[in-house]
Structure 1
Amino acid sequence: MIRLMPGGPMDFLRAQMSQQVGGQMTQAEMDRKLELFTNMHPDRPLHEQYFGYIEHVLSGDLGRSIWYNEPVAEILGAAMPWTIFISIVSLVVIYAAGVSLGAIMAYIEGSKFDISSSMLSIVITSVPFYIVAIVLVWFLGYQWGLFPISGQFGENVRPGYNTAFIQSILYYGALPIISLVLAGFGRIALSMRGNSIQTLGADYLRVARLRGLSQRRIALRYVARNAFLPMYTGMMISIGTLFGSSIILEQIFSYPGVGYYMFRAVSSRDYP
């Protein structure tokens, strides 16, 4: 599908080389140099190029980026920790906030807090995360200047296991994390509320109350544990969703993770 898009890396590099060498080389000479440089053979059938690529991947060679002129494995190795950081922290906060709110809503079902929280969760869940991200960038970044709008950490911070570096990456990653949390915790809260209400009506809870168990023990050992069990599958799906959303999110915040480089690769037709 990527090969069917108009343009390609050869066109881009050919234009660059034409600007640099002018009329000193013929078109055929430029094509030969480009094939050697990119290790691509556009004259071969597409299936041969594909199986050649798979063969290299299975041997551990992901190729060399045409745009950055660096090994793909090194680019991904440097970018992957940042995407994992954003995704994992967001997932933990989404489920911590959603499960806690949903459990409280279930325990006081029908109250003003339950009704207002349910309405708010429905509204927030219906808003795409990238809309939330753009709003946060505009107000908290551009207008008020409370958070940085690009980068992974401060320029004057020395990378390493030190307090200043950890604080800096949390500060620079705050807006992407907040965007995912605001767009995602409402769905978890509504799911936890429904599961908890269903669990509260179970017979074994009546037996637990008759045994004289404390409300705290009933809430944590019986209600919360059994209400959360059906949400494990959703959690696994959420991991894939968060990694997929990183392509758009990291582009909005200019956050150099895997999604950021993936978007640049598609834009420049950087096939490797």
Structure 2
Amino acid sequence: MRYLLRKFGFYLVALWAALTVNFFVPRLMPGDPVLILLAKLGQRGPVTPEMRASVEALLGAESGEPLWHQYLDYLGNLAHGDLGVSVTFFPAPVSSIIGQTLPWTIGLIGLATIISFLAGVGLGTVAGWKRGSWLDNLIPVTTMFQSVPYFWLALILLFAFGSVWPLFPLNGGYDVYNVTPGWNGPFIGSVLYYGALPAITIVLSSVGGWMLGMRNMMVSTLSEDYMVTAEAKGLRPGRMMRRYAARNAILPSVSGFAISLGFVVSGSIVTEAVFSYPGIGSALLQAVSGNDYALMQGIFLVITLSVLAANLLVDLLYSIIDPRTRSRA
């Protein structure tokens, strides 16, 4: 119990620090969101103090309010689930923008991350079990895709399979002209079709790391005494590979997978920028270019919570798998 309380206390402090940084960093950026919003509304001429005060109140701040008071208001609004109003998508609230874009990111990046993990661990298990086979020799090729800059790999695949051989669409999340959004077959099929190439890019760029890590852990595990004992007892090779070798070799990969899930949201920016995908990464880019403090803070909050939750999950998982971590804490 003391271990759990200590961990929860640490992550609460980390969350407070992240929220504090999340508040101050956007306000250090150049630009004036009030002027940006007025320009969007077609305002011409000088901005009066009354007009500025009205817009600032609309955006969640009062004119002349000290920074520390804004900080307290910011924490109070977060406690009530109020993330403010977006300047970029005015007058939509930030929570609405995140609710619309986050499912796209989780669906694409999250599913691609799971596929790459399962494929990499499975192939790495076989490659480590059968050292020197053609699959083992294929690992340098897969790691080559990981070493290539992600945006460059995405642009190559987009040019090859979207332009030269038009097998996939060039941009977007679904066919906006011929399907109606909703839980219907044509829309789901269109979403899968438009997300196929971005997902393939993510899998190609990450499967090599999972495969190499699992292969090396398998090689290390095969030299353990319990594997020699299992072989001496005459156990079937398939059972030895699955129940003894892979089961112990996969532990580091599981922790890495949990952490990678935490970075699903933050890792979507490059993907969605290259493929013009309507996810939370695209919304973040628009928020940064438009000095949209409220939207930036809301998205950073989602990223912070996802990363902290993933790290907490890993700590709790390790405390169950290896009780020695609790005794050393």
Identity level (%): 39
1:221 counterpart (201, 221, 243): 243
- Alpha-carbon contact 1:102-1:189 (below 8 Å) kept: yes
Task: Say yes or no: does 1:231 pair with 2:250.
Answer: no
Q: Which moved more, 1:169-178 or 1:27-36?
A: 27-36
**Match for residue 143 of structure 1?**
164
Q: Which moved more, 1:148-157 or 1:25-34?
A: 25-34
Task: Say yes or no: does 1:2 pair with 2:26.
Answer: yes
Aligned counterparts of 2:224 and 2:60: Cα–Cα separation in 1? 65
The CA deviation at 1:225 is 1.3
1:127 counterpart (111, 126, 148): 148
> How large is the Cα RMSD of the aligned pairs?
2.1
2:196 counterpart (174, 183, 187): 174
Q: Secondary structure at the match of 2:199?
A: helix
The CA deviation at 1:183 is 0.9
Alignment of 1:150-169 (within 5 A): 150-155=171-176, 156-169=178-191
Q: Which moved more, 1:202-211 or 1:95-104?
A: 202-211
Q: Secondary structure at the match of 1:173?
A: helix
Alignment of 1:190-201 (within 5 A): 190-201=212-223
What letter corresponds to residue 148 of structure 2 in structure 1? Answer: V
The CA deviation at 1:135 is 1.8
The CA deviation at 1:167 is 1.7
The CA deviation at 1:42 is 5.2
What letter corresponds to residue 161 of structure 2 in structure 1? Answer: L
Q: 1:83 to 1:109 in 2, by over 3 A?
A: same
Aligned counterparts of 2:80 and 2:272: Cα–Cα separation in 1? 30
Aligned counterparts of 1:45 and 1:187: Cα–Cα separation in 2? 49
Aligned counterparts of 2:288 and 2:63: Cα–Cα separation in 1? 18
What letter corresponds to residue 254 of structure 2 in structure 1? Answer: Y
Aligned counterparts of 2:110 and 2:83: Cα–Cα separation in 1? 26
Aligned counterparts of 1:213 and 1:186: Cα–Cα separation in 2? 30
What letter corresponds to residue 161 of structure 1 in structure 2? Answer: W
1:110-149 Cα deviation digits (max 9, x unpaired): 345423x232133222123222222222222233222122
Structure 2: any 5+ residue segments left out of the alignment? 1-24, 295-329
1:13-57 Cα deviation digits (max 9, x unpaired): 34445xx4545x763343234234334335322222222112111
Alignment of 1:18-167 (within 5 A): 20=42, 22-23=44-45, 27-41=48-62, 43-68=64-89, 69-111=91-133, 113-115=135-137, 117-155=138-176, 156-167=178-189
The CA deviation at 1:188 is 0.5
Aligned counterparts of 2:197 and 2:268: Cα–Cα separation in 1? 13
The CA deviation at 1:5 is 1.5
- Alpha-carbon contact 2:129-2:241 (below 8 Å) kept: no
What letter corresponds to residue 35 of structure 1 in structure 2? Answer: E
Q: Secondary structure at the match of 1:243?
A: coil
Aligned counterparts of 1:188 and 1:146: Cα–Cα separation in 2? 28
Q: Secondary structure at the match of 2:125?
A: helix
Q: 1:194 to 1:31 in 2, by over 3 A?
A: same
TM-score by length of 2: 0.75
Structure 1: any 5+ residue segments left out of the alignment? none
2:282 counterpart (260, 268, 272): 260
- Alpha-carbon contact 1:247-1:260 (below 8 Å) kept: yes
The CA deviation at 1:210 is 2.4
- Alpha-carbon contact 2:106-2:264 (below 8 Å) kept: no
Q: 1:128 to 1:243 in 2, by over 3 A?
A: farther
Q: 1:26 to 1:231 in 2, by over 3 A?
A: closer
TM-score by length of 1: 0.90
Q: Which moved more, 1:215-224 or 1:141-150?
A: 141-150
